[in-house]
Chain A
Amino acid sequence: MLAQEADHLTTLCETLSNPFVESWKKEGGKVIGYACTYMPEEIISAAGMLPFRLRGTGCVGTSLADAWLTRIANCSFARSILELALTGEYDFLDGVVFNNGCDHTRRGYENWKAQENTPSFMYMLPVPHVLTDDGLQWYREEVATFKNTFEDFFGVKVSDESLKDAIHTYDETRSLLKQLYKLRTQKAPNLTGAETLRILVASASMPRDEYNRLLKVKLDELSNRDGISDYRARIMLVGSTNDDPALVELIEEAGGLVVADSLCFGARYFWDMVEETGDPMDNLTARYYYHVPCPRMYGALKERLDFLKSATKEANVDGVIMQAIKFCDLHGVENAMIERALEKEGIPTLKLEREYGPLADTGRFRTRVQAFLERLGR
């Protein structure tokens, strides 16, 4: 029974909304969408609401969104989210919080906000683009302003105690996900990269207590499962955001087991813990500000490369696949720098440009992945 329930963790990613969200709503709960790993979800959770990470799942084309974010210059992931908003798929949200993560998401938010029918609470929580003490202070103030506005709007109060509880719950998730990540880096990993992604996407789509409970069951089940050893090569996947298991499945069907990543629906999401003693807002903001940085944090390449290199070692990676969604310059340029750094250390890399989800041209993607695996001699 429990094991069956735990299967939800691997299927929630297939639809935008899900039974958990629906019953949450039915019980009068509010759902708040958010777009980026620089958004401290704990605040939403501590207010008794459900944070739901925005995805492009189920989008079959972006014709409506393309009239706002253009297909000649803007990212297909951002366009897919906007399309779902424009077609009413996100009507279940009571509010949306964006960060100025990149040019595309920023503008995606603004175009959404300009529509007639939007969730009643639309908020932009800007994050500095550099990692400095002053920047942390700025971010701390921004998060506090968000918290106040949010509390006022919804008539709720997020106490220090409830915030500490939420942090504790989220930290539990993070340590559980680290255990999961460990299973995947073994010599014969207990789960595929696609499964890992599925489980991660679920974390951002359902109530957290429930998720932690199921994740423990899942971890139990996975660690008793036979390890996978019939793969051709161990791959690390880096680059643009991805919530679509099909991308990872493409690589794994060709024989490349994805054993590590530094994606924002991946290791970067859960890697760093929040300090639980002391002022919860200070702890929370420090963690979200300094967590494994996204390429949008300028001047933090070293931190990112350090994370990447240690991850390749830990997971004993044969090759790194770097992908970027078309027009994603943050990852596009970052990938060029990663390529240079890794190839210098003798780690083979493959650089791919892709479109998100339904817009992908899988045949061409597959050919390149296969050739890369052949290059790895596997």
Chain B
Amino acid sequence: MVRTPTLWEETSALMGGVAALPEDVSALEELAKGLPPDAASLLKGFTNPHYIKMSITGLKIFNTALTSVLERRSQGGKVAFYCFSFPRELLDAMDMAPVCTEAAGIIPVLALGCEEYIDAPINAGLPDSICGGHKATVGMIVEQAEITPDVIINAGPGSCDPNAKLHEWMAETWDVPLLNLDAPYYHDDRSFRYYRREFRRMVERLEEINGQKLDYDRLKEILEDSNEQIRLYWEIQDLKKAKPYPLSNIYCVLVELMKYIWSGRPEAIEYFRIARDTAKSLVEKGEGAFPNQRARTLWTYSGIYFDMELFRWLEEIGVAFVQDCFGWYPDKVIDTSSIDTMIDGLADRTLNQPMTRQHKGAWDGPAGWAEDMMFLARELDIDACIYSGNLACKQTWGCLRLMTDKLKNEMGIPTLRLETDILDKRVTPTPVIKEQIEEFVSNLA
């Protein structure tokens, strides 16, 4: 018997109004007024007037992505849970019902708050130092078995202990296969060859579980779409260099969401296209996405998601959220000429996913955290870094001093250290975060 996926449906129902929204800020604000505080503040993050079209396109995906998984399942698709750092296009090509483990909880949290669910994993005996990115998902599972997977994929164990361990816990809870792709410590040819073999084995296992072979024509079709998305992504990365900053801060947040839950699908491509067009026309006019810009910031971890309004607020105080580590996808266009090039291309892409890429090996190694952040800081002409300080992230906290010293000493870029749970507003509430950012930014001058 399938239980009602209440949280996802609740989210979808609550946010249902976005489906019919015109591309108009006041309509969005009007809709927000009628919603409970969490959902309202979520919508308010999307109110940059230049980007209202992009915002609404993104919101619609936000609202329907999870429930569409249920539809896919009802058509017989096997449910595959995957850690966010995975190219979901593969699962689409296999007609599976792909669920990003992190997004499965994050989306309801953003709309509904869900503190009860965030606390539930601790009640299930898990340590409270696990990541907010998983707490709500696990909570839903424990409390109401929202949806159960047929298989769980983790493409980068070793880049984050709590993450890998949580996926192991979930596989054990439901007694379903856990496919770990071992991401090696290095970032060289040998590693990529090793990882490609890992990836192939995973594809074979997925085919077994799914009861059918991967349809390569379908994969080709999907990857060609996905390639289009990558091209747009790079075009936008280039536009980001413009001053004043031509994108809305919400762009980066949605990039992650698109990648996690909708990558390669027409709506996502549409999202990137609108973003590109809007940014391009602003750059041509020499305008910024918001006025009085005073700092271009690189978020060396991720943004803070429990209150999306924060991103709009940053615009109001003139702070550009130019880039974060979790939105950094150094993806290459995949050669779709043969089965092998596609599978290898996907494997290579997976090893370059955020977090896996930066944290599987040494902090200062090739494609390590330091190299990537220094590159982005230089490339995007960054004034200051903000570390959102997700308390669960032992990896980054464990080399934060090294990282901030390097940015400070080698590039003269200061870093603000926040201590938060990026998904639990109770840990460090928004006003405290705002105060710290405000002070930090005012000291930059």
List CB contacts (< 8 Å) of B360-413 with chain A.
361-364, 391-395, 397-402
Picked from B125, B168, B362, B391, the residue with its CB within 8 Å of the CB of A72 is B391
For the complex, give the distance between the alpha carbons of A136 and B200 in Å.
18
Of all chain B residues, which has the CB nearest A124?
B362
Instruction: Determine if B165 and A74 form an interchain contact, defined as CB atoms under 8 angstroms apart.
Output: no
Q: Is the CB of A107 within 8 A of B129?
A: no
Report if B180 contacts A (CB, 8 A).
yes
Q: Do A100 and B169 touch (CB < 8 A)?
A: no
Complex formed: what's the CA distance from A106 to B158 in Å?
10
Near B by CB (< 8 A), chain A positions 320-341 give 324, 326-330, 332-337, 339-340
Nearest chain B residue, comparing its CB with the CB of A332: B127
A129 with B398: in contact, given A296-B161, A333-B126 (CB under 8 Å)? Answer: no
Residue B166 at the chain A interface, CB threshold 8 Å: yes
A100 to B127, CA, bound (A): 22
Task: Give chain B residues whose Cβ lies under 8 Å from the Cβ of A2.
Answer: none
Are A111 and B394 touching (Cβ within 8 A)? no
**A332, B363: Cβ atoms closer than 8 Å:** no
**Which residues of chain A in 282-341 are interfacial with respect to chain B, using CB atoms and an 8 Å cutoff?**
295-296, 298-299, 301, 324, 326-330, 332-337, 339-340
Selected contact of B394 from candidates A104, A135, A298, A353, CB within 8 Å:
A104
Residues of chain A within 8 A (CB-CB) of B169 are 333, 336-337
**Residue on A nearest B197 in the bound complex, by CB:** A134
B324 at the interface (CB under 8 A from A): no
Q: Are B180 and A299 in contact (CB under 8 A)?
A: yes
From known contacts A103-B161, A128-B182, infer whether A333 and B130 are also in contact, taking CB-CB under 8 Å.
yes
B158 touches A129 (CB 8 A): yes
B126 contact set on A, CB distance < 8 A: 332-333, 336
For B277, the chain A residues whose CB sits under 8 A away are: none
List residues of A (66-80) whose CB comes within 8 Å of B's CBs: 67-70, 72-75
Q: Tell me if B194 and A111 are in contact (CB < 8 A).
A: no
Q: With A103-B160, A110-B364 known to touch, is A333 a contact of B397 (CB < 8 Å)?
A: no
B391 touches A73 (CB 8 A): yes
Nearest chain-B residue to A107 (Cβ)?
Answer: B398
Q: Contacts A301-B168, A334-B165, A336-B169 hold; do A111 and B399 have CB atoms under 8 A apart?
A: yes
Q: Which of A126, A129, A135 has the most CB of B within 10 A?
A: A129
Asked if A132 is at the interface of the complex by the 8 Å CB criterion, the answer is yes
Q: Does A154 contact B (CB under 8 A)?
A: no
Within 8 A of A (CB), among B88-132: 124-127, 129-130
Contact B180 A130 (CB under 8 A): yes
Determine whether the beta carbon of B395 is less than 8 Å from that of A107.
yes
For the complex with contacts A73-B391, A73-B393, A296-B161, 6 further pairs of A-B residues with Cβ separation under 8 Å are A103-B395, A110-B399, A130-B180, A330-B165, A332-B165, A336-B126
The 6 closest A-B pairs by CB, nearest first: A107-B398, A332-B127, A126-B185, A73-B397, A333-B165, A336-B125
**26 pairs, CB–CB < 8 Å, chain A vs chain B:** A69-B398, A70-B398, A73-B397, A100-B158, A103-B161, A103-B398, A107-B363, A107-B395, A107-B398, A114-B402, A126-B184, A126-B185, A129-B182, A134-B197, A296-B158, A324-B127, A326-B129, A329-B129, A329-B165, A329-B392, A330-B165, A332-B130, A333-B126, A335-B125, A336-B125, A337-B168
